[in-house]
Amino acid sequence: MVYLVAIPLPFGSVISSAQVPLIATPVFLAAVVLVSGLAGSRNGGSLVIATPFMAFLMGGFALIAVGLLQQIPLPISWVASVSPVSGELWGAVREASRLMGVEPSEVAYLSVAPGTTRLHLLRLVGYVSLFVVAGLTIRKRWHRLVLATVLLASATFQVVYGLKQFTTGTREVWGWRNSLIHDRVTGTYVNPNHFAHYLAIVIPIAVYVIISFWIRRKRARATLPQRIAIFLERDVGPVGLSSAVAIVCLGGILVAKSRGALIATFAGLVVCVSLLLVTQQIRLESVPILRRLSHLGRLTGVAVLAALLLISLVFVMGVDRTVQRFVPTGEETLTLVGRTQGMAAALGVWSRFPVVGSGLGTFEDVVLMEQAPELDKIFSHAHNDYLEILATAGVAGFVPGLVGLLVGWALLLRDLIHPGREMQEDGDEVEWGSDDRRLFGTAAFACLTTAMVHALFDFNYFIPANPATLAVIVGAAVAIPSQVRRTKLRNE
């Protein structure tokens, strides 16, 4: 939990000094958790691994395998046969070495920049390690509530810190002077879009806390007025604070003026509320005026209320401070706010490195092969995570990675709608979707959907703090059930 709070602070963990703790901490935690888990298995236990967990894990392993292959030293003839353009580039390096009087190396790499690929590979290992740690340790309701509390507190700090810097006019974040962006809030991130994305994936967690306390009171078999009374007496504190954080996060996205984050946020919230209604985790039949409405009618009502909330926030905070930037110019409309150039360059790079890519994280190194020369800036990222991964990991990494993501996403959705039966620590069969676990899974599914939508027009997967946080949330949602302990009675 300390790690989760810390990783957004050094500019989203993009700076060099943040890389060692970013990578080493989750790897160490995973080693400790796996060793202790294996020890438990030797003492008469077994693990039941959830299918969504395996799907996500296999997708991560596929990308790691390609990253390893990209930085293995190979004979240059082998490299040229697999990736002709990489072979040409390394051949040019050898020729330059001869001209400089240096003995050329006899080996080459599939990656055009092995050092960069190594760093991104280690980041991937860190994300997968976090996913495994969360899946093996965050299993109970109070675990999930602690995780939610930490994330909500971290998001609140991000907004408060960002607003402080913005209102005081210092334009500095931890001593770094922001000389480019003057009218948008960035939190502790350099880029306001990435700051807004972090808030966007936290908002569904606030919804989880709010609904979790309401569902807990539902079990008391009390009437609706009695439940409301109990709710106000005992739960108004955490629910009120969670509601306030959700509104603060939405306000933070507005003052960050991130169009993509706002679109992704509403996509995630629509998915979250739809699942809550379809799976009947929220029952509205006890409210007479809502009893006759269909799911579509209820969703429409929720959408109207969300729109009113957004309009109210814009009115209170001012148009100039929030949505003024949301009206694109004519050129931005034609180029999807400048995104299409980066996307086209990514497709061009992929056409040069179709099988295994140019190397994880090397998009900036190769983009000038394809980027239009008349543009006034170099695209360090494609502003579409899927196309950038396709360009840098090739078909060999992109296809299994995307399949793992989509299959895990679909299996999680299946288990939320039609929960299966799995074993818990006490050996009793219970519904996979026990109220709280299923509710958290719904929130995590919304977080994942938010990230997947935003990845269509930004590069948040390459801002370490954001995928690391998402890995923990999703890992906790598809947590491996506790070890099933063989009882003495069964052995007898």
Domain count, the chain: 1
pTM of the predicted model as reported, rounded to 2 decimal places? 0.86
Of the pLDDT bands very low, low, confident and very high (cuts 50, 70, 90), residue 427 is very low
Phi, psi of 173 (to 5 degrees): -125, 110
For residue 478, is it within any domain?
A: yes
For residue 323, is it within any domain?
A: yes
For residue 459, is it within any domain?
A: yes
For residue 342, is it within any domain?
A: yes
For residue 82, is it within any domain?
A: no
For residue 458, is it within any domain?
A: yes
The answer to whether residues 160 and 187 touch, using CB atoms and an 8 Å cutoff, is no
What's the average model confidence in pLDDT over 370-389? 80
At 184, is the secondary structure helix, strand, or coil? coil
For residue 239, is it within any domain?
A: yes
Phi, psi of 422 (to 5 degrees): -135, 165
pLDDT tens per residue, range 20-64: 999 999 999 999 988 887 655 555 455 567 889 999 999 999 999
The answer to which of 28-37, 272-281, 347-356, 381-390 has the lowest mean pLDDT is 272-281
For residue 344, is it within any domain?
A: yes
Q: What is the mean pLDDT of the chain?
A: 81
Which residue segment(s) compose the domain that 380 sits in? 2-72+109-491
pLDDT tens per residue, range 159-201: 999 888 878 777 778 877 777 776 788 889 988 999 999 999 9
Predicted pLDDT of residue 144: 93
Tokens for 305?
């209320």
Which range scores top for mean pLDDT: 123-132, 213-222, 306-315, 332-341?
123-132
- Picking from 196, 212, 203, the residue whose alpha carbon sits closest to that of residue 159 is 196
Predicted pLDDT of residue 208: 92
Sign of CA dihedral 148, 153, 159, 165: negative
Cα 130 to Cα 160: distance, rounded to the nearest angstrom: 27
Cα 470 to Cα 491: distance, rounded to the nearest angstrom: 41
